[in-house]
Structure 1
């Protein structure tokens, strides 16, 4: 899963303002990006469905989410 994949999922499932997800957002907390817990639940649900992995709770940044998903994909792959 790439950062662009995550940007697409965030935009489709939780919405985003123009430019909100541009640039280096890997270490920016989701709350700072404007995503609340409900938006993250929707995003995690889409990622779990699309990628077939169980994502742990308490992921604060896009980097943490991507690392978790990609680590799980390698483990099952």
Structure 2
């Protein structure tokens, strides 16, 4: 399976939670906090559920609690994908 990318994450975020007005997801967002991007815990819960269903992996709740940026979530998903391969 190909790696999980920022493009994949943005698609899933937009499908599940939409986008906050005034936030440009096409900008440099890899290291921005999800809170600063307008995504609270409920939006991240929906995002993780969508990722799990689409990529057939299980993201640990405690690991997800530590994910605060898109880069961290992409790295977490890719580590699970690599372990599942």
Q: Same fold (TM over 0.5)?
A: yes
Deviations 1:38-72 (A, max 9, x none): 11111110001111112232110101100000011
What TM-score do you get using the length of structure 2 for normalisation? Answer: 0.83
Give the stretch that moved more between structures: 52-61 or 29-38.
52-61
Q: 2:33 aligns with which of 5, 20, 29?
A: 29
**Aligned match of 1:9:** 12
What TM-score do you get using the length of structure 1 for normalisation? Answer: 0.91
Deviation above 4 Å: which 4+ runs of structure 1? none
Q: Does 1:49 align with 2:56?
A: no
Structure 2 CA distance, aligned partners of 1:11 and 1:70?
20
Structure 2 unaligned runs (5+)?
Answer: none
Aligned residues: 77
Structure 1 unaligned runs (5+)?
Answer: none
SS of aligned partner of 2:35: coil
Give the stretch that moved more between structures: 38-47 or 15-24.
15-24
1:76: how far off? 1.3
Q: How much is the aligned-residue C-alpha RMSD, in angstroms? A: 1.3
